[in-house]
Chain A
Amino acid sequence: MNAAYHRSPHVLWRGSASRIVLLGPGSQNPLVMTGAGAALWEVLEQPVTLDGAATHLAGRYEVSEEKVAGDIRPLLDELVALQVVQRVEDQP
């Protein structure tokens, strides 16, 4: 069983080349994501698994997929907790 992640439709956000500013539902504290975090936000436009996101970012930053997966897992968990990203179970 593989979970997929995607942007919550309820999140408000703005992006520039290197920064993403986010405001989760019910929150009054905007978050700022830079660098690889901003790149991850781009990937999350469509539902993507952890491995899928890692593959995408690994190619972009020329780092191993395992390393990227280890780095983005806690970030994805945090974004889910902040309700700016949704996690959908049972992806094929």
Chain B
Amino acid sequence: MTSVWLPSVAATGLPGSMLEMPGHPLEAAEWSELVEGVIAERLAGLLLEAVESGSLPATDSQRESVIDLHVQSMATVLLLERCLLATVEALGEAGIPSLVLKGSAVAHLDYSNPSLRPFADVDILVRSQHFDMAVETLTSLGCARQYPEPRRSFDRRFGKGTSFTTPSGLELDLHRTFVMGPYGLSIDLEQLWEDPQAFTLGGQQLHGLSAEKRLLHACYHSTLGDVPPKLMPRRDIAEMLLYGDADTDRVLELARAWRAEAVLAHAVRSAWQTLSIADSLRLSSWAATYQTSERDQKSLEIYLTQGSNYTTRSLAAISALPRWRDRMSFMAALAWPQREYLDGRHRNFAARLRYGLTEAVRGRATR
């Protein structure tokens, strides 16, 4: 069971949140349930803040266990940041510019104390034209690709990116866009590189997206990332909107250009509702009244439906490709992928097609 107090922990320190905390320390079973949820949602920093500030009453042993949990999550974060620095340096030496996405960039650029924002992997963005070279560079560092691409250059042309396991067992995600499927293909990828924001880590200067694009990325991640959606991305959105300096006009302009207004509206509404934020901002008011089109509703459901997977999102991506030639290449790559891609997957075209159709039908049936 999910602890009813998790959203309250996620809202710790947000002045506009109306969520309440328990008035006394939780009983052992309830506490264990809360800690389990905190680990899954990566909220250890906010739980510690809630306990240390006294907003969440806790026994001495509960407080000690939160401190231990936070220390463990920070130790992991530091190892990930060491990996991030080495990776950015190696990419730079290979002539590949990169931007830091999500975890480390958001922790340092959007939170007053980065300790409040743990994360579990390294996320790096490279340009599409550098993608294959970046994969080679990471492979030369001993990183093992978790999944092969269906066909050579598929990821560079159509994919969200790919995941690696580093020699020390950490996860490293190499991105070229924010999400797979139709919403990932409608982003103007070159715009992501405009106005990057610098931050310093371990004496090295790194760059993240601009404040407006970090906010939009958090919205994509919140709405289109996990099913059911995680709390941390929603907290990120609240943090960025309540304390950050993203220009609302620019955010709306980019969302329109990327055909992602429905994603933005859904994410902001969800953050405001889940964290019960009373403060009304221009963007939260806009999101509350935004009318999602039927077409967007269908596209969103592909991402929001439990059980929706790579196949359903891939099928949906076909219609988002503007050129017929790209659509044909996309379908051919999925229909007749290279042998490595098939290892452990569906062995022939008929099986893949059957699986894809089953998934698509299941996705429709659960709408």
**B322 contacts the other chain (CB 8 A):** no
A-B contact count, CB below 8 Å? 51
Interface string of B172-194 (1 = CB under 8 A from A): 00000000000000000000000
Question: Across the interface, do B202 and A16 meet the contact criterion of CB distance under 8 Å?
Answer: no
Count of A residues near B, CB < 8 Å? 19
Q: How many whole Å from A34's CB to the nearest CB in chain B?
A: 9
A19 & B52 in contact (Cβ 8 Å cutoff): no
A59 to chain B, nearest CB (A): 23
- A49 and B202 alpha carbons, distance in the complex (Å): 23
Instruction: For the complex, count residues of B whose C-beta is within 8 A of A.
Output: 20
* Choice from B79, B115, B202 contacting A30 with Cβ under 8 Å: B79
Asked if B202 and A14 make an inter-chain contact with CB atoms under 8 angstroms apart, the answer reads no
User: What residues on B are CB-neighbors of A13 within 8 Å?
Assistant: 78
A9 interfacial contact with B, CB 8 Å: yes
Asked if A70 CB lies within 8 Å of chain B CBs, one says no
On whether the beta carbons of B202 and A25 are closer than 8 Å, the reply is yes
Q: Does A19 lie within 8 Å of B82, measured CB to CB?
A: no
How many Å from the CB of A70 to the closest CB on chain B? 28
Asked if A16 meets B82 with Cβ closer than 8 Å, knowing A10-B202, A11-B202, A25-B202, the reply is no
Residue among A11, A19, A22 with the highest chain B CB neighbour number at 10 A: A19
Q: Are the CB atoms of B78 and A16 closer together than 8 Å? A: no
Q: A9-B203, A16-B48 known; A28 and B79 CB under 8 Å?
A: yes
**A-B residue pairs in contact (CB < 8 Å), sample of 24:** A8-B203, A9-B203, A10-B202, A10-B203, A12-B78, A13-B78, A14-B77, A14-B78, A14-B115, A15-B113, A15-B115, A16-B74, A17-B52, A18-B67, A19-B67, A21-B71, A21-B75, A22-B78, A23-B82, A28-B82, A28-B168, A30-B74, A30-B75, A32-B75
